[in-house]
Structure 1
Amino acid sequence: MKFFIALFLSVLSTHSLSKNIDDVRVDGLVKMLPAKAFEVIGFQQDQAYNSDQVHQAIKKLFGTGYFSDIDVLEENGVLIFNVVERPSIGELEIEGNDLISLEDLKRGLKSSGLEVGEIYKPDSLNQIEQELQRQYYALGRYSAKVELQVTPMLRNRVKVNVNISEGATAKIVHINLVGNSAFTDEEATRFFESRETGFFNPFSSADEYAKQKIQGDLEKLRSFYLDRGYLDFQLVSSQVSLSIDKKEVYVVINIEEGTPYIIDSVALNGNLILPEEKVLEQIKQKSGDLFSRKEATSTMDRISTLLGDEGYLFTNVNLIPEKLGDHRLKLTYHVTPGPQVYVRRITFSGNNETTDEVLRREITQFEGSLASHTKIQSSKRRLERLGFFGKVDLRTVPVQGTTDQVDLNITVEEQASGSIQASVGYSQESGTVLGFGISKRNFLGTGNKLSFNASRTNQSQDYNLSYDNPYFTVDGVSRGFDLFYQVSDHDNDDVEDYDLDVIGASVRFGYPLTDTQRLSFGLTVKETTVALGSDPSNETLSYTTEHGDAYDDLIANLTWTDNDLIGGVLPTNGYSTKLSFNLALPAGDQQYGKIDLTSQKYWNLDESNLWLFRLKGRAGYGFGYGDSDELPFFENYFAGGSSTVRGFEGSSLGPKNSYPSGSTESSSAIGGNILMAATAEFIFPLPMVEDHKSVRTSIFLDAGNVFTENCYAGNDQCSEGVDFNEIRYSIGINWTWITPIAPLSFNFAQSLNSKTGDSTDFFQFQLGTTF
């Protein structure tokens, strides 16, 4: 302390060991309240004090962090503390951060005491700089620099500038595995998220070093060996070295593989509850098999689920491995079932719009019955498939005071289930698209769907009013209605010139077969009017001459669906299949039928839901019967374009029509009564995109065409039957963005086997939705 403080204390200690004071005063306070200061000092009037107590008071005041200097003196029986407060932080400015969000940085700085209004503590700045630097190092930014600058301000305040230069992410040049002999480096590291930099991954971030990513890869390496029986596997060490310029990273992983273990025998013990034979059925690994930790974990889950379906929800299954000689292994699964429990009550929360009834009818686990693990998980899956909720959390909670009862608490996070859409778009296949739609998948919280859609393109106008009640009866029988009106003018597209007016209505009923399967049937009444152009083709003129140009039809429909897709508009998992049969009944003017099959499936290539593989197939067959031996030309299938084979112009593939001699019209696609189309897609994330729920990129391979069984006599551009040599192929890249206004899709596709007469199109895009 200053000289006169020491002098004062020395005089105090020389004259007496303690001395009474009349009062205590603190001068210089600005931010700290006097009451708080007196509380810290702890002196009272007429209290005896000595030098040690004064030292302790000064130490406590400094300990608050408020003061940069403290003087103590005695004047006329008054002990005076002259304090100088530290400045407060008046402004905090952060610049240069892109990798770490501003909110996350401010949250971290606040936890370190660096926030507007807080006391400025110079000693903590160096620690804050080092911590920020460490965070960037963990992200692979070894060239990052963090500087904190402090500028004085008026009224005892300072401005703190946090200047960040994030630098470039260091690239992984080489990953070297040392000690492996059973597997090559490529085999052992093929599941790594980290990859060596190379020519074939310029758009991937896999070669960017990050400490957390490497730690995860080390766990994947351990799992790789344990899943192949190497129980003695040891991760000895891992080293990361940098190049001089801090732009290149070299990773060395030292391991000891050990020897794989073979299963000698498998046994069960504990309280099995069920017959031992039934439990043993859940164990797939047998004597002589190579041990796999992954399969052992799956076995424990299957046994827990088996007993959980009998009400033993809290079954605990442990694996006890016993190492024998010659690297053989005895596996013992110890089962502790716990008490058999019943579900007392099922409660819902978070459903502010959706009624409890809508949720409860999806629950396959009932109150008052034995708890079943499979039924509880099935209930969760059914709620997720509704599409009303962004998140479904299901918890079983033991009832206090009992050992055989649980409550099932279901928390949902509602997401938007309705939309009003007014869009203006353009597609190369349909031209300008004007659309308006209003849709509510959860109308008034009842789970019913009501929608009205209207659209207009250069070739068509479509209007549709639809209503669906998925629970028309308590057994899950659905009922729906449709009213529709369509006007088409094919004068300016690749289809022959004719106008088509369609108006009708339909009713349908659906019956649930399983959780995912449904059988629907319905009737459609529609009126169709055809107006041919000034120079019609032989095919259209022939049909209208024989059947007329106005038709009243009664169409029966039978549809089977199996849908277990998860993920909404851009699915990430599951499958869907739809098989439908439409038959124009003899009571109408036309007799024809159509059979359509569409199926798709997604495979997750990792647990992130970002790397996916998708297969999609579509097939259709139309036929005439009774008085007609062909499908009406306006019911034909078409191929080419964004919905079938990209890289070819929309509706341009397949058989061509013919014209009478002397006609000036050029042949165009007339479609066919047979459709075959398939798509294979590899879906991957772009590193610069954060919202992968609304953005998707894929590499695709398309194949397909349409064929006909009825060619007009003399048409040399039409051949009857399916010719697999006429299947067209294309390959390309798709980018889709679900914008707040409307879906936006770009396709860059190259035809692989186009032939003379085909119309190809390398770039296709669509903005807006055609209803």
Structure 2
Amino acid sequence: MKVFVASVLAICSAQSYAKTVADVRVDGLLQMSPARAFETIGFQQGQGYDSSRVHEAVNSLFATGYFSDIEVFEEDDVVIFKVVERPTIGRIEIDGNDMISTEDLQRGLRLSGLEEGELYKPETLNQIQQELQRQYYALGRYSAQVKMDVEALPRNRVALNINIEEGVTAKIVHINIVGNKNFSDEELTDKFQSAETGYFNPFSSADEYSKQKIQGDLETLRSFYLDRGYLDYELISNQVSVSADKREVYVVVNINEGLPYSINDVSLSGSLPISEDRIWKHIDQKAGDVFSRKQTTEIMESVSSELGDDGYLFTNVNIIPNKLPGHKVDLTYHITPGPQVYVRRINFSGNSETKDEVLRREMTQFEGTLATHTKIQSSKRAIERLGFFSKVDLKTRPVPGTVDQVDLDVSVEEQPSGSIQASIGYSQSDGTVLGFGVSKRNFMGSGNKLAFNMSRTNQTQDYTLSYDNPYFTVDGVSRGYSLFYQVSDHDDDDVEDYDLDRIGASVNFGYPITDTQRLSFGVTVKNTGVDLGSNPSLETQAYLDEYGDSFDDVIANIVWTDNDIVGGLLPTGGVSHRVTLDVATPVGDQTYAKIGALSQAYWNLSDDNLWLFHLKGRAGYGFGYGDTDRLPFFENYYAGGVYTVRGFSASSLGPRNTYSDDTETDSIGGNMLVAATAEVIFPMPMVEDHSSVRTSIFLDAGNVFTDYCYSGSTSCEEGFDAGEIRYSVGFNWTWITPIAPLSFNIAKTLNDKEGDDTDVFQFQLGTTF
């Protein structure tokens, strides 16, 4: 409000000349400095003034935003500006918000000029109130209310109290599509994020209305028709109706389907720097096919990648459709390749712990060479396989002032590569099971792995120290060492009665075959000592009677791996295979061999990597040769537990030992192992961050068998028997904690037999299954 004292205006208007200012005074300043106020007024002592200059001064003062009222009057040739400053914001309090975080609200207020210490502007407050209301409406909270109270504080300050009642999210009662003739509503809405409310999935939020979800569903609907050739598809309108109580929403979508188009002809145009045959091999469309936008997009991407492998990274491939009578269409792929480009520099960011050289040695795209799409993508994949990073992005950036050079920017987000591992459990066979380990897969940022592990049960103690350098040479030859010591003390009458001491060391070298395949060679030297108790089983007694009770063995091993798994501790895709051969050579006291295989694969069931299908299989076979006619009993395979068949106690399945009296038998393992797992991985309901939490439903199967039974055993059967395979189903929950992976399994055995030990609940901290 602007107030001018009449005497000033009257005097100025009655005189044909401007009055001379004897002095200028500003009363009421609190926030604005006097110097700025006088500068804004624009005239001072000794200058002439009239009504127009007074108007200009007042307008300038108001334009600063500091004042809510200004009065101007003259007293003894002194022009006095009496101002009332706007109050400043002394405090902002937000209460009642849950869906929108306080931090986000505060950030939005700051961008709008509402912050503690800033001037209070009622008009801005009203705009923010309306905007908050709109945001809650967009989230489906039509019953939400936003109230803003202003409280006066001392020293011309105010407190803003923002009280939010978020209400409840309106439920989608019905989605009605009008105009569809060729497809049912169920077919059209099958891929919608939104769904009508129902009782079949109480944990789902699909029936909660959201403007963003509806907009995405409308685009999904458009893609549905374009992918089936309906080039004339048109979204006429979409309406959202809200019930009186603002708890129910009705969505109506009006469309015009049109008719599907078939392809009449496919041609190429533009500049083709490579042979047409290389381009045509990616185009699988032909005359008579129904047009599909999805197929066309995939072709454009593959053609662009083909040219990208020749250095044309900035190739533009556009599709030019020409509609013809009879609902036919000619397709022309127009190609603009641009210049061939070279990589000037490769820059890394985000690797605060990992050294640049660890990432650089995984790059198949080098500086100073032609930039190719395949090498850039394989470099990204190789860095992801390291398992040190939760996210890897590679982007090409043109070099300013050039047309044929790019910089390759590699951005990573590191995830913990070290862990303290622990496990605890209890079973009838092993008693209390304790485990502890410290490992660092990226030791001091070098990419080398250092690990120490120990485990202890009522019968065994295991200690292992290992170190592995995956780049012992610049060519990718790896070298690893390990030391191990195991003590087994079986002195309980209920279990196998012997003590086993093993100590040894190993060294291995690995050679890269391809980007994913590796061949490793190693040698292990170990000493094994067996001390029988007072009541050993007939199997163990027979073996020691024949071969002795102390063994110095030299074991050669060969390992072939093909690993293309990505995702770190919680894989999201890829396939891996591992085949091992361990041979106890004639240099030592025993001669035997063990062959093992492990394969697993992940398939994405959704684009967001939250729904996955996982298959895992493991097999092993051991045998004696030369002077040793069977696999030593202490080298047997075991089944049961979290690594093979969950729901059965650890190492409890398979052939059982034999006693001359009525001592209770226990699993002695076998020289043949088969185990498999199939699981569906799905996002846990009500969890927003799925990067560290994983849930799955699994089916496990497996057992161990033997092809050498002790002659005095009446229960042992030699050879593989598919009817003895054990099965279990269950639920797994895994959480990657800051310390180590934490895993729970609840399993139900499907065909346990008399004598089998079962565990419904199994817990583990330190290793994911």
TM-score range, shorter chain: over 0.9
Match of 1:514 in 2: 514
How much does 1:74 deviate?
0.9
Do the aligned residues in 1 keep the contact of 2:424 with 2:763 (CA within 8 Å)?
no
Superposed counterparts of 1:583-662, under 5 Å: 583-660=583-660, 662=661
Match of 1:739 in 2: 737
Match of 2:759 in 1: 761
> 2:738 & 2:127 partners in 1: Cα distance?
44
1:468-505 Cα offsets, whole Å, 9 max, x none, are 12122222111111111122345679964443222111
1:352-391 Cα offsets, whole Å, 9 max, x none, are 5544433332222233332222112212222222233444
Do the aligned residues in 2 keep the contact of 1:435 with 1:770 (CA within 8 Å)?
no
Q: Which runs of 5 or more structure 2 residues have no equivalent in the other structure?
A: none
How much does 1:283 deviate?
0.9
Indicate how the Cα distance of structure 1 residues 495 and 766 shifts in structure 2: closer, same or farther if over 3 A, else same.
farther
Match of 1:692 in 2: 690
Match of 2:398 in 1: 398
> 2:215 & 2:764 partners in 1: Cα distance?
43
> Residue 107 of structure 2 aligns to a residue in which SS?
helix
> Residue 303 of structure 1 aligns to a residue in which SS?
helix
How much does 1:37 deviate?
1.8
How much does 1:311 deviate?
1.9
Do the aligned residues in 2 keep the contact of 1:695 with 1:738 (CA within 8 Å)?
yes
Match of 1:375 in 2: 375
1:318-339 Cα offsets, whole Å, 9 max, x none, are 1111112222221111112212
Match of 1:94 in 2: 94
> 2:499 & 2:179 partners in 1: Cα distance?
74
Superposed counterparts of 1:496-575, under 5 Å: 496-575=496-575
Indicate how the Cα distance of structure 1 residues 424 and 449 shifts in structure 2: closer, same or farther if over 3 A, else same.
closer
> 1:513 & 1:504 partners in 2: Cα distance?
29
1:43-66 Cα offsets, whole Å, 9 max, x none, are 333333333332343333233332
Deviation larger for 312-321 or 433-442? 433-442
Superposed counterparts of 1:100-179, under 5 Å: 100-179=100-179
Tell me the amino acid that sits aligned with residue 735 of structure 2.
W
Do the aligned residues in 2 keep the contact of 1:510 with 1:519 (CA within 8 Å)?
yes
> Residue 613 of structure 2 aligns to a residue in which SS?
strand
Do the aligned residues in 1 keep the contact of 2:735 with 2:741 (CA within 8 Å)?
yes
> 1:185 & 1:541 partners in 2: Cα distance?
73
> 1:490 & 1:208 partners in 2: Cα distance?
60
How much does 1:656 deviate?
2.5
Match of 1:577 in 2: 577
Indicate how the Cα distance of structure 1 residues 437 and 703 shifts in structure 2: closer, same or farther if over 3 A, else same.
closer
Indicate how the Cα distance of structure 1 residues 355 and 740 shifts in structure 2: closer, same or farther if over 3 A, else same.
closer
1:405-452 Cα offsets, whole Å, 9 max, x none, are 333343444444445x37574465866565554433333443322233
How much does 1:703 deviate?
1.9
Deviation larger for 510-519 or 217-226? 217-226
> 1:440 & 1:747 partners in 2: Cα distance?
26
> Residue 240 of structure 2 aligns to a residue in which SS?
strand
Do the aligned residues in 2 keep the contact of 1:616 with 1:680 (CA within 8 Å)?
yes
Indicate how the Cα distance of structure 1 residues 202 and 352 shifts in structure 2: closer, same or farther if over 3 A, else same.
closer
> 1:543 & 1:331 partners in 2: Cα distance?
76
Do the aligned residues in 2 keep the contact of 1:455 with 1:770 (CA within 8 Å)?
no
Deviation larger for 310-319 or 398-407? 398-407
Indicate how the Cα distance of structure 1 residues 658 and 407 shifts in structure 2: closer, same or farther if over 3 A, else same.
same
> 1:163 & 1:499 partners in 2: Cα distance?
71
> 2:116 & 2:414 partners in 1: Cα distance?
37
Match of 1:279 in 2: 279
Match of 2:313 in 1: 313
Deviation larger for 422-431 or 225-234? 422-431
> 2:762 & 2:370 partners in 1: Cα distance?
56
> 2:276 & 2:423 partners in 1: Cα distance?
66
Do the aligned residues in 1 keep the contact of 2:3 with 2:69 (CA within 8 Å)?
no
Indicate how the Cα distance of structure 1 residues 311 and 157 shifts in structure 2: closer, same or farther if over 3 A, else same.
same
1:582-615 Cα offsets, whole Å, 9 max, x none, are 1222222222222221111112222322222212
How much does 1:704 deviate?
1.9
Counterpart pick for 1:705 among 703, 706, 709: 703
> 2:166 & 2:533 partners in 1: Cα distance?
66
> 1:160 & 1:467 partners in 2: Cα distance?
60
> 2:3 & 2:213 partners in 1: Cα distance?
58
How much does 1:553 deviate?
1.5
Q: Does 1:479 align with 2:479?
A: yes
1:85-108 Cα offsets, whole Å, 9 max, x none, are 222221222222222222111101
Give the number of equivalent residue pairs: 768
How much does 1:770 deviate?
11
How much does 1:640 deviate?
2.0
Tell me the amino acid that sits aligned with residue 576 of structure 2.
S
> 2:360 & 2:194 partners in 1: Cα distance?
45
Do the aligned residues in 2 keep the contact of 1:743 with 1:767 (CA within 8 Å)?
yes
> 1:253 & 1:207 partners in 2: Cα distance?
16
Match of 1:752 in 2: 750
> Residue 452 of structure 1 aligns to a residue in which SS?
strand
> 2:39 & 2:413 partners in 1: Cα distance?
49
Tell me the amino acid that sits aligned with residue 618 of structure 2.
R
> 1:352 & 1:248 partners in 2: Cα distance?
50
For the aligned residue pairs, the C-alpha RMSD in angstroms reads 2.6
Deviation larger for 390-399 or 650-659? 390-399
Match of 2:66 in 1: 66
How much does 1:219 deviate?
1.4
> 2:300 & 2:64 partners in 1: Cα distance?
55
Do the aligned residues in 2 keep the contact of 1:203 with 1:686 (CA within 8 Å)?
no
How much does 1:649 deviate?
2.2
Do the aligned residues in 2 keep the contact of 1:519 with 1:561 (CA within 8 Å)?
yes
> 1:541 & 1:157 partners in 2: Cα distance?
92
> 2:121 & 2:270 partners in 1: Cα distance?
61
> 1:145 & 1:567 partners in 2: Cα distance?
43
Indicate how the Cα distance of structure 1 residues 92 and 731 shifts in structure 2: closer, same or farther if over 3 A, else same.
same
How much does 1:7 deviate?
5.2
1:606-656 Cα offsets, whole Å, 9 max, x none, are 232222221212222222222333322222222222222222222222223
Indicate how the Cα distance of structure 1 residues 415 and 731 shifts in structure 2: closer, same or farther if over 3 A, else same.
closer
> 1:645 & 1:64 partners in 2: Cα distance?
75
How much does 1:727 deviate?
2.2
Counterpart pick for 2:672 among 674, 682, 686: 674
> Residue 441 of structure 2 aligns to a residue in which SS?
strand
> Residue 654 of structure 2 aligns to a residue in which SS?
coil
Do the aligned residues in 1 keep the contact of 2:565 with 2:574 (CA within 8 Å)?
yes
> Residue 588 of structure 2 aligns to a residue in which SS?
coil
Superposed counterparts of 1:421-432, under 5 Å: 421=420, 423=422, 425-426=424-425
Q: Does 1:327 align with 2:290?
A: no
Do the aligned residues in 1 keep the contact of 2:494 with 2:664 (CA within 8 Å)?
no
Deviation larger for 2-11 or 756-765? 2-11
Indicate how the Cα distance of structure 1 residues 3 and 397 shifts in structure 2: closer, same or farther if over 3 A, else same.
closer
Tell me the amino acid that sits aligned with residue 379 of structure 1.
S
Tell me the amino acid that sits aligned with residue 738 of structure 2.
P
So what's the TM-score if we normalise by structure 2?
A: 0.94
Indicate how the Cα distance of structure 1 residues 768 and 275 shifts in structure 2: closer, same or farther if over 3 A, else same.
closer
> 2:138 & 2:17 partners in 1: Cα distance?
57
Indicate how the Cα distance of structure 1 residues 211 and 714 shifts in structure 2: closer, same or farther if over 3 A, else same.
farther
> 1:530 & 1:177 partners in 2: Cα distance?
76
> 1:436 & 1:407 partners in 2: Cα distance?
45
Deviation larger for 25-34 or 227-236? 227-236
Superposed counterparts of 1:451-490, under 5 Å: 451-489=451-489
Tell me the amino acid that sits aligned with residue 252 of structure 2.
V
Do the aligned residues in 2 keep the contact of 1:494 with 1:651 (CA within 8 Å)?
no
Indicate how the Cα distance of structure 1 residues 593 and 26 shifts in structure 2: closer, same or farther if over 3 A, else same.
same
Tell me the amino acid that sits aligned with residue 146 of structure 1.
V
> 1:399 & 1:122 partners in 2: Cα distance?
49
> 2:405 & 2:741 partners in 1: Cα distance?
48
Q: Which runs of 5 or more structure 1 residues have no equivalent in the other structure?
A: none
